[in-house]
A and B are shown apart, each in its own frame.
Chain A
């Protein structure tokens, strides 16, 4: 879970984690209310199914000490929330709703209960498509522009596996669509780049030239021209694709990169690597 740390929060981690997990949704509260209902009005079988496991969940998953102990053996900082998935909300809450409707005495009572339950659902949740349903525009479920960029680069490049620097979203998507495209920046570097500025020490790190590219093109930190070109050279980056609104477009042209094409929102630049390195797949036939 982003931003939460067991060591820092201690036994307060669980509550913070739970708060982030539920957000504005009241379903865990509905689950607790349903448990109380089952305790009071439920049959023996219903109690056997839902009560003991909930008690054990309180003793284990919802025990504030549990993440602290677990964290000594495994790093659970980012994944502890997944234990909440075990809580059978998806069974108990719909079951009780249905049970209440079907056990209502007559059709009038059933209608009233149904309307009440629907109102509860409306105020308890957060609709997954609240911002509208974004339909995929193609069978690959990828942005059309990304597919165009892939085609442009392969048409332009003589290498089978050209290497490209892409902006955040396309960097995460490109290799799902086009595994022949090598990427300069991996996911973790990008995630770090969007959250933290680069220090001088990082920018001088010769083993990670991509830091300079990210600092200059994504974080818009000042880098001198030579350092930027050196980063492209040492990372063997053949192509740079950035949004037309990125203020670095004019710099790329002035630094000697060639704009080979543009799409609706992106410019595609080529950098002539001085000492080209053609990526090849490792030959495993010597092993077999």
Chain B
């Protein structure tokens, strides 16, 4: 029971932090537009990526100059506290209002909310209670445990525990595990519990939030034959959405249930669904599910022009944040951005988007190039002064 409380508390604190970070970016967004998705949900998702962007910036110098993990913890904790306090001051009222709307929704439509929450709870129970043997955990989780044990960052080989004379650049920019190590050091929670339970549950909830937002976006615009005048409106504009969700909001949980069915059954050792359900705590599972799907959500919103303020800033944060979570993002997100946004830029003839698209692609490309230079032997970063 104590552990369940500890996991729940960890997840709750995570979401408070993500909401605080994200709200600094999303505050004010959507005032002029329809509120298809609660800004609180969007803030939490964006906050997750922003959190890792800021962590990356704070983590990199001490890591590069082989300072102890405890030093980073001492820097990072006040940073987070300041951000949370500032966000509380700036967004406190908006949060209360946002949560108030949710409370109303739960009171008014308990069946709908229950239908949304039950699949999420099923996934949370599955990922937090099942045993899975995966080879890559030998790096990811052991790296967290090793960093806490040695009070250093990426200096000791997670596989054997031996000292390494140089940093392995493949993992150097993916500071996601170092953040886990900071929390484990600060709270005393063992690495296995933090990564495989707290972070796994956090990622599952975040992914489902994005599923919910996507389902909401998709069914804002679907003309239903049962709705009066829908076909006509669709023919006229292709964008009309008057009353559609109001009449058909049960489509959202149904789509989420089908998303769960796909995740449960689209299974080979390579699919992102398998990564989501059995390797949830790994950086590449987060990139392959949460980051990719968040970019797709932003693409839908930009396609509909239902989000204009800071849309590219948010996309940049997702891309940069993903690159600091796993090196898999370095190639995946630039390609995803290309297949999604180049057609929009061409179709809308909105060439002013081009530099923004390039800015979003840059972090992944730069990290990839640095890695190539390292592999080709152009440079090495040692873990001790030479």
1/0 per residue, CB under 8 A from B, across A44-83: the answer is 1100110011011100110000000000011000010111
Chain B residues positioned under 8 Å from A73 (CB to CB):
372
What is the bound-complex CA distance between A60 and B340, given in angstroms? 12
Residue of A nearest to B2 (CB): A139
What is the bound-complex CA distance between A61 and B340, given in angstroms? 13
The verdict on B350 contacting chain A, using a C-beta distance below 8 Å, is: no
The verdict on B96 contacting chain A, using a C-beta distance below 8 Å, is: no
What is the bound-complex CA distance between A43 and B331, given in angstroms? 32
What is the bound-complex CA distance between A25 and B270, given in angstroms? 12
In contact, B192 and A141 (Cβ under 8 angstroms): yes
In contact, B131 and A102 (Cβ under 8 angstroms): no
Chain A residues positioned under 8 Å from B159 (CB to CB):
175, 183, 186-188
In contact, A20 and B296 (Cβ under 8 angstroms): no
Residue of A nearest to B151 (CB): A281
| A208-233 CB contacts (< 8 Å) to partner B | none
What is the bound-complex CA distance between A134 and B134, given in angstroms? 14
In contact, A128 and B274 (Cβ under 8 angstroms): yes
What is the bound-complex CA distance between A81 and B288, given in angstroms? 11
Nearest Cβ on chain A to B80's Cβ, whole angstroms: 24
Residue of A nearest to B195 (CB): A176
The verdict on A172 contacting chain B, using a C-beta distance below 8 Å, is: yes
User: Which of B24-32, B257-265, B351-359 is near enough to bind chain A?
Assistant: B257-265
What is the bound-complex CA distance between A82 and B137, given in angstroms? 18
The verdict on A133 contacting chain B, using a C-beta distance below 8 Å, is: yes
Report how many residues on chain B are interfacial, defined by Cβ distance under 8 Å: 98
Nearest Cβ on chain B to A70's Cβ, whole angstroms: 8
The verdict on A127 contacting chain B, using a C-beta distance below 8 Å, is: yes
Contact of B145 among A20, A61, A91, A179 (CB under 8 A): A179
What is the bound-complex CA distance between A175 and B146, given in angstroms? 8
In contact, B368 and A95 (Cβ under 8 angstroms): no
Nearest Cβ on chain A to B296's Cβ, whole angstroms: 6
Chain B residues positioned under 8 Å from A89 (CB to CB):
262, 266
Chain A residues positioned under 8 Å from B161 (CB to CB):
161, 175, 179, 181-183, 279
Nearest Cβ on chain A to B175's Cβ, whole angstroms: 19
Chain A residues positioned under 8 Å from B68 (CB to CB):
284
Contacts A56-B342, A102-B251, A172-B138 aside, 20 further interface pairs with beta carbons under 8 A come to: A25-B267, A27-B265, A43-B223, A43-B238, A45-B239, A55-B343, A82-B284, A91-B218, A91-B259, A93-B258, A94-B262, A95-B218, A103-B222, A121-B262, A129-B264, A136-B131, A169-B133, A179-B149, A186-B159, A284-B66
In contact, A86 and B273 (Cβ under 8 angstroms): no
How many A-B residue pairs lie within 8 Å, measured between CB atoms?
254
What is the bound-complex CA distance between A49 and B344, given in angstroms? 9
In contact, A83 and B332 (Cβ under 8 angstroms): yes
Given contacts A23-B268, A141-B192, contact A48 B259 (CB under 8 A): no
What is the bound-complex CA distance between A279 and B157, given in angstroms? 13
The verdict on B141 contacting chain A, using a C-beta distance below 8 Å, is: yes
Given contacts A95-B255, A182-B162, contact A56 B278 (CB under 8 A): no
1/0 per residue, CB under 8 A from A, across B279-314: the answer is 000001000110011001001100110000000000
The verdict on A177 contacting chain B, using a C-beta distance below 8 Å, is: yes
The verdict on A119 contacting chain B, using a C-beta distance below 8 Å, is: no
The verdict on B76 contacting chain A, using a C-beta distance below 8 Å, is: no
| B140-165 CB contacts (< 8 Å) to partner A | 141-142, 145-146, 148-150, 152, 155-163
